[in-house]
Structure 1
Amino acid sequence: MLFRRIALLVLVSLSASACGGGGGSSTQTASAPTTVAEALKAADQSGAYPQLNRDTSVAGPDANNNGVRDDIDAYIASLPDSAPQKAALTQASASVTRAMTTDTTDQNALADAMRQIANASACLHARYDSSTASSKNTDMEKLTVNTKERFIAYEAFSAAASGHSFVLPQGDGCAN
């Protein structure tokens, strides 16, 4: 469902921007993308969004082994946010990656992944105001879960975690 919403959002925003205003030449050849693949390619080429890794692996490339794909690391580094805020964003993306790669049949691993997500959310709320923290959390989830394979893995984690409870972290939940 999340993947479809993201794809629809990309298609709608690109379609709206492709319409443009008047005053242009009637010989314009640009047309709105007709497939999700075309919309994603157009979004990457526009420079309006970070260019995201879309390979078929769930975790994706992570040269520094911090649990965050290299493309998301680069995106976070490019933001004007403070160093502690960037650390919270990194923790949030890493927690989603951990969830996607968790063995959902291992109850201890499942509980640990849920705890990491709770800590990351608490950390974001400690380092940003509430509405910004929620928005940043959603952004990290969207950027991290950006392919069908990643969506399926995250959905499997969500289904396995459904009905489980966990304790909220003491303190701010921040790893760094």
Structure 2
Amino acid sequence: MGNAMTPRHLGMLVSLLSLLAACGGEDPAPLQARSIEDLERQGALPVLDRSEDLGGPDADGNGVRDDIDAWIARQGGAPARQDALRQLARAFRDALLVRGDSVAAQEAAWRTTLAVSCVMARSGSGTEGADAVADMRKMSANTKARVLAYLDYSAALDGAILSLPAGDGCDE
């Protein structure tokens, strides 16, 4: 018979594919969500706001999302470093609220550049500072809406030229 597919072979193939499709068909998202919630409860991951509000809750009005403010407080360290992290959190939050305005995007990018410089200046090492900046970016853009807003901000900066700040970039 050679390599020809007979109706019998075709039937077996369809049956096998149907069986494979039926196996493991559970949605992995609930398991993943449970795992994230477990890690949050255990303190391995910060408990982050997942609301649709781009800015997120800010009960004390300091410009920093409450969940990120709590994470900064848990980091401990020198008050000057915590101030630097809050400055960065405010800058990232502002970037999410740009909504395609290129002038606002450039202003937010300048504030972000200053804040990154401040975090780097007030961190114990370059690695510690870079890790803090990366963590803050991930926490700030932790929902689909926030990721899309960050991408819009980035697109609004297309072609923009920014310089490095003089000094440490810190507000305080």
Cα deviation digits, residues 104-150 of structure 1 (max 9, x gap) = 23x32121101011001110111112111111100111111111111
Residue 136 (structure 1) aligned with residue 120 (structure 2): no
Cα deviation digits, residues 5-52 of structure 1 (max 9, x gap) = xxxxxxxxxxxxxxxxxxxxxxxxxxxx93143333233223211111
TM-score (norm 1): 0.76
Q: CA deviation at 1:77?
A: 0.9
| Amino acid aligned to 2:120 | H
Match in the other structure for 2:66? 70
- Give matches, 1:40-119, under 5 Å: 40-105=36-101, 107-119=102-114
Query: Does the Cα contact within 8 Å between 2:52 and 2:145 map onto a contact in 1?
Result: yes
Could you list the runs of 4 or more consecutive aligned residues of structure 1 that deviate by over 6 angstroms after TM superposition? none
Match in the other structure for 1:150? 146
User: Quick check: 47-56 or 34-43, which moved more?
Assistant: 34-43
Q: Distance in 2 between matches of 1:134 and 1:148?
A: 24
Query: Does the Cα contact within 8 Å between 2:39 and 2:45 map onto a contact in 1?
Result: yes
Q: Distance in 2 between matches of 1:95 and 1:75?
A: 16
Q: Distance in 2 between matches of 1:102 and 1:39?
A: 33
Gaps of 5+ in 1: 1-32
| Amino acid aligned to 2:109 | M
Identical pairs, percent: 35
Q: Distance in 1 between matches of 2:107 and 2:137?
A: 18
Q: Residue 37 of structure 1 is aligned with which of 26, 33, 37?
A: 33
Helix, strand or coil: the match of 1:90?
A: helix
TM-score (norm 2): 0.77
| Amino acid aligned to 2:28 | T
Match in the other structure for 1:26? none
Gaps of 5+ in 2: 1-26
How large is the RMSD of aligned CA atoms in angstroms? 1.6
User: Quick check: 80-89 or 37-46, which moved more?
Assistant: 37-46
Q: Distance in 1 between matches of 2:83 and 2:114?
A: 12
Match in the other structure for 2:10? none
Q: Distance in 1 between matches of 2:80 and 2:87?
A: 11
| Amino acid aligned to 1:92 | L
